[in-house]
A and B are shown apart, each in its own frame.
Chain A
Amino acid sequence: MKFGVLVFPGSNCDRDVLYVTRDLLKQPTRMVWHEETDISDLDVVIVPGGFSYGDYLRCGAIARFSPVMQATVEHANKGKLVLGICNGFQVLTEAGLLPGALVRNRDLHFICDRIPLRVERTDTPWTQLYQKAEVITLPIAHGEGNYYADADTLARLEDNGQVLFRYEGENPNGSLNNIAGICNEKGNVLGMMPHPERASDKMLGGTDGFKLFEGLLKVAVGV
């Protein structure tokens, strides 16, 4: 299974993702510069965290129009896997691959913490190695992670079971329905504010995020 990690000017979690998919997961992985247009060799596109294009105007707003994002939209429309982490989640909402938007944290602080999350579904490519309703711990690091969608969109998300991760206990950023991560209707596109790639190596104090990446290998062999 071949992974691609998008690199925008201002991305800063790209190498962390690369380390997880190439060195821990042992899968071919390449960095994809934002001006590239051909990503047809990739099975999974990961839009990493950071501050793409300086987060100018709005987080993810300018990245969305980069050549590689046009290719990523096509990739997603073919039903292939796309994961957006943190700033990557913001980019995916701006690109219209996921509904809603991420706005300023309720308390205005940039939050850097480890928080508990509840896994809502385990029948998706992203969550199949977790237990249903399992509570995991992942790091978050964001200033604009407050998920917002209008009431109709929110109801549709819930009815379709598109919320895959929810903040457990205290809601750190004010996001509606405690949403931490959602997928599209088909389930092949996931956006999440917490960082699974920062919780994948035992040496760094937590591996709750690694199952997300490991689960994707099961998709590859069609188990």
Chain B
Amino acid sequence: MKYHARIYVTLRPSVLDPAGVAVQSGLKHMGYENVEQVRIGKYIELNITAESEDAAKQQLDIICDRLLANVVIENYRFELTEVSTPVEAKV
């Protein structure tokens, strides 16, 4: 089966995010005084072929632990959906 994965990599709460702080200060300058806790992370999409959803999840965990996230500073989570027909790139 083929699955489409949407992977979110976020900084662990204990790690400072100076870029997030800068964006938050930009939002304040725009007048959005009610915005706080801006944290910037990464979003990764990929397709994966595996025998089952569990097998795909297991492999994704390994991929995230080894490369896509650095677990010293980042957390990750992902969502999977089955891709029923091959996805062709839209021109």
Indicate, yes or no, whether A interacts with B.
yes
Judge whether B18 and A101 touch: CB under 8 Å: no
- Note all chain B residues with C-beta closer than 8 A to A57: 42, 67-68
- Chosen A-B contacts, 17 in total, with CB atoms closer than 8 Å, are A57-B42, A57-B67, A58-B70, A61-B67, A62-B67, A65-B66, A101-B72, A103-B73, A106-B16, A106-B18, A108-B18, A108-B22, A146-B16, A149-B72, A150-B14, A150-B72, A174-B16
- Note all chain B residues with C-beta closer than 8 A to A105: 18
Min CB–CB distance A140 → chain B (angstroms): 17
- Note all chain A residues with C-beta closer than 8 A to B73: 101, 103, 148
- The verdict on B15 contacting chain A, using a C-beta distance below 8 Å, is yes
Q: How far is the CA of A107 from the CA of B70 in the complex (A)?
A: 22
Tell me whether A65 and B67 are in contact in the complex, defined as CB-CB below 8 angstroms, given that A101-B72, A149-B72 are known contacts.
Answer: yes
Q: How far is the CA of A62 from the CA of B70 in the complex (A)?
A: 11
Q: How far is the CA of A104 from the CA of B42 in the complex (A)?
A: 14
Q: Which of B66, B68, B72: most chain A Cβ within 10 A?
A: B72
Q: Which residues of A contact B (CB under 8 A)?
A: 57-58, 61-62, 65, 93-94, 99-101, 103-108, 146, 148-150, 174
Tell me whether A104 and B18 are in contact in the complex, defined as CB-CB below 8 angstroms, given that A61-B67, A65-B67 are known contacts.
Answer: yes
Tell me what chain A mostly uses at the interface: helix, strand, loop, or mixed. loop
- The verdict on B50 contacting chain A, using a C-beta distance below 8 Å, is no
Chain A, residue nearest B22 (CB): A108
Q: How far is the CA of A99 from the CA of B71 in the complex (A)?
A: 12
**B residues contacting the other copy or chain, number (CB 8 A):** 14
Q: How far is the CA of A95 from the CA of B23 in the complex (A)?
A: 31
Q: How far is the CA of A94 from the CA of B73 in the complex (A)?
A: 11
- Note all chain B residues with C-beta closer than 8 A to A58: 70
Question: Which 9 pairs across A and B sit closest by C-beta, in order of nearness?
Answer: A101-B72, A101-B73, A108-B18, A101-B70, A106-B18, A104-B18, A58-B70, A103-B73, A148-B73
Chain B 47-74 interface mask (CB, 8 Å, partner A; 1/0): 0000000000000000000111010110
Min CB–CB distance A142 → chain B (angstroms): 14
- Note all chain A residues with C-beta closer than 8 A to B22: 108
Min CB–CB distance B21 → chain A (angstroms): 9
For the A-B complex with A65-B66, A65-B67, A104-B17 known, give 17 more contacts whose Cβ atoms are closer than 8 Å: A58-B70, A61-B67, A61-B70, A62-B67, A93-B72, A94-B70, A99-B72, A101-B70, A101-B72, A101-B73, A103-B73, A107-B18, A146-B16, A148-B72, A150-B14, A150-B72, A174-B16
Q: How far is the CA of A57 from the CA of B73 in the complex (A)?
A: 13
Min CB–CB distance A155 → chain B (angstroms): 14
- The verdict on B1 contacting chain A, using a C-beta distance below 8 Å, is no
Task: For chain B, residues 3 to 47, give those with C-beta under 8 angstroms from any C-beta of chain A.
Answer: 14-19, 22, 42
